[in-house]
């Protein structure tokens, strides 16, 4: 099947068979019940578990049976997911709205490696070679910063994919003891309170500012970078070019700003997939060349699994199919992500951009309005904090929300008692969601039969973290492929930017002509002294 001629999930025979199976097995008074399923199948935990590149996934506590998984896997095959996947690895322009290849996977291939899918195309080989060259330049610079005794602080200024990915990786690996470079800080918000709160902690002569923006035109990043540069000069800083480095595809704009170096990457690297590219400079400074290469190696291991493993045992594919099952058959509107590791506390925010910006769309590649729901709302918080915030609703609320627990077997600290209790709490929550409880009064009744997934890592290292994040990327791609979407554009963020450009001037001069009454009244109120 040619990847360009793939049918949408609702256009293949498996879709109708899947809907029929759902009606027969998962609706009505005798609907599927997890407790009965475990009682009927002593091997359910084994039968519904997968392991890929060091990520163990227990799917057994989900509202699904073997027949549904078979039908879902057949659906993926009929939709041409394999051809679409292979086209991505081969360097084909699968980002059709922008007429680009999708190249983040090529940035994590070893320089001498063949494409993860054995297509043998010259395009893929060229992408790998170019990425390896740019990566070497970035890593050389990172090592020079790490070795510079005059640099004590590094500030990454970016937003969206230029912030969330690097911030998550640095926080995660700092918590697990892998960060040993200069102090790393992240600034993203247009709200000046974030930058203003950081600047008093810095000294101009010992600070390096990284300005990360693919276009070098992102309003938040340019404003924060400009304010940082103004502060640098006002504090007597010398040699702006030495203390400001740009990560961008727009070298001319970076040079005009005054950055002394611009580390580039190709247009095929999308923002939310960019931490593997030069955008990952802050990561490389934090964990060094060897650590960054291990991060890439972990991601590449998941790439190989995704490219080479049959759909039936392909972890990103099976997770995407489970997402489709819940969204389009069960009609569930959200998914909770609960990482039980302090280092992964920003994982839900990272996944919000990855999943909702990629697949939060209402029309397919052909411009047709979708007849089904697309991306669920992704949300969550680190465990066990979330247990004392929203787990009440997960257990007893009126909406069923699948919960994804992310666990790490080995702790990086030596405090006695903590980690065993943390893991026990996560396992207990998953068990309680499934089993429920018959209460002596209605308020103490837990309905149970509420789904969850356990994702387990052995430890939190650069390699294992790379594997986990690549798994989420491929899961997102697969789900978009099934829905007939382009997961690599984001036109939905543009309209608000355009309106903001107009309103900035109106806030200054007070002209509200032509605005809706609400916005006009708010501008008038905001201008009052």
Indicate which residues carry an active-site annotation: 357, 388, 497
Spatial separation of the C-alpha atoms in residues 304 and 309, rounded to whole Å: 8
Spatial separation of the C-alpha atoms in residues 172 and 295, rounded to whole Å: 12
DSSP 273: G
* Pairing mode, strands 183-187 and 153-157: parallel
φ, ψ dihedrals at 434, nearest 5° = -75, -50
Q: Please count the other Cβ atoms lying within 10 Å of the Cβ belonging to residue 161.
A: 24
The angle at the Cα of 435, spanning 434 to 441, to the nearest 5 degrees, equals: 125
**Residue 425: which H helix or E strand, with range?**
helix 418-435
Q: Please count the other Cβ atoms lying within 10 Å of the Cβ belonging to residue 28.
A: 8
Bridge partners (DSSP) of residue 405 are 338, 454
Spatial separation of the C-alpha atoms in residues 12 and 71, rounded to whole Å: 11
Residues 6+ apart with CB under 8 A from 196: none
262-278 core/surface letters (b: 16 or more CB in 10 A; e: else) = bbbbbebbbbbbbbbbb
DSSP 142: H
Q: Please count the other Cβ atoms lying within 10 Å of the Cβ belonging to residue 470.
A: 29
Spatial separation of the C-alpha atoms in residues 529 and 402, rounded to whole Å: 48
Nearest Cα residue to 1 out of 65, 118, 80: 80
The string of DSSP letters for 227-262 reads HHHHHHHHTT---HHHHEEEESS-HHHHHHHT-SEE
Residues 6+ apart with CB under 8 A from 114: 120, 124, 125
Bridge partners (DSSP) of residue 262 are 246
SS3 100: strand
DSSP 332: -
- Tokens describing residue 94: 């699968």
**Residue 207: which H helix or E strand, with range?**
strand 207-212
* Residues across the chain: 529
Spatial separation of the C-alpha atoms in residues 205 and 32, rounded to whole Å: 65
Spatial separation of the C-alpha atoms in residues 473 and 307, rounded to whole Å: 13
Bridge partners (DSSP) of residue 338 are 405
Spatial separation of the C-alpha atoms in residues 178 and 465, rounded to whole Å: 12
């Amino acid at each position: 099947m040619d990847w360009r001629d793939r049918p949408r999930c609702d256009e293949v025979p498996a879709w109708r068979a899947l809907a029929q199976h759902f009606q027969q097995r998962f609706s009505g008074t005798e609907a599927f019940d997890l407790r009965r399923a475990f009682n009927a199948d002593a091997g359910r935990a084994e039968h519904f578990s997968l392991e890929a590149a060091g990520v163990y996934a227990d799917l057994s506590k989900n509202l699904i049976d073997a027949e549904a998984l078979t039908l879902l896997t057949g659906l993926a095959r009929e939709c041409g997911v394999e051809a679409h996947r292979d086209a991505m690895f081969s360097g084909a322009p699968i980002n059709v709205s922008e007429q680009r290849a999708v190249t983040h996977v090529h940035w994590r291939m070893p320089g001498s490696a063949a494409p993860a899918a054995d297509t043998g195309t010259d395009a893929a080989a060229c992408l790998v070679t170019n990425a390896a060259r740019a990566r070497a330049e970035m890593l050389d610079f990172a090592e020079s910063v790490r070795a510079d005794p005059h640099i004590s602080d590094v500030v990454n200024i970016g937003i969206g994919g230029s912030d969330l990915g690097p911030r998550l990786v640095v926080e995660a690996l700092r918590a697990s003891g892998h960060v040993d470079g200069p102090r790393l800080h992240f600034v993203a918000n247009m709200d000046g309170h974030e930058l203003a709160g950081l600047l008093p902690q810095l000294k101009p002569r010992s600070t390096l500012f990284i300005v990360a923006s693919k276009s070098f035109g992102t309003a938040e990043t340019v404003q924060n970078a400009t304010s940082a540069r103004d502060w640098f000069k006002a504090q007597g800083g010398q040699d702006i070019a030495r203390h400001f480095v740009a990560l961008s595809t727009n070298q001319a704009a970076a040079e005009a700003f005054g950055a002394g170096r611009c580390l580039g990457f190709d247009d095929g690297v999308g923002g939310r997939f960019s931490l593997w590219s030069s955008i990952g400079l802050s990561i490389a400074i934090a964990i060094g060349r060897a650590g960054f290469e291990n991060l890439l190696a972990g991601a590449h291991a998941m790439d190989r699994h995704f490219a080479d493993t049959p759909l039936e045992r392909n972890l990103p594919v099976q997770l995407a199919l489970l997402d489709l099952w819940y969204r389009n058959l069960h009609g569930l509107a959200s998914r909770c992500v609960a990482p039980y590791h302090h280092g992964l506390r920003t994982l839900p925010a990272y996944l919000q951009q990855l999943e909702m910006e990629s697949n939060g769309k209402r029309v397919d590649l052909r411009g047709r309005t979708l007849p089904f729901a697309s991306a669920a709302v992704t949300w969550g918080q680190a465990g066990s904090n979330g247990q004392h915030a929203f787990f009440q609703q997960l257990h007893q609320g009126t909406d069923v929300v699948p919960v994804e627990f992310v666990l790490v077997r080995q702790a990086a600290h030596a405090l006695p008692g903590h980690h065993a209790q943390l893991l026990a709490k996560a396992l207990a929550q998953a068990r309680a969601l499934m089993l429920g409880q018959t209460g002596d009064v209605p308020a103490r009744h837990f309905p149970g039969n509420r789904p969850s997934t356990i994702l387990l890592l052995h430890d939190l290292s650069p390699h294992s973290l790379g594997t986990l994040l690549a798994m989420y990327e491929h899961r997102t791609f697969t789900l978009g492929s099934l829905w007939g979407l382009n997961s690599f554009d984001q036109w939905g963020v543009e309209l608000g930017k355009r309106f903001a450009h107009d309103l900035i001037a109106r806030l200054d001069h007070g002209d509200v002509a032509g605005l809706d009454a609400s916005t006009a009244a708010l501008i008038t109120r905001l201008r009052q002294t």
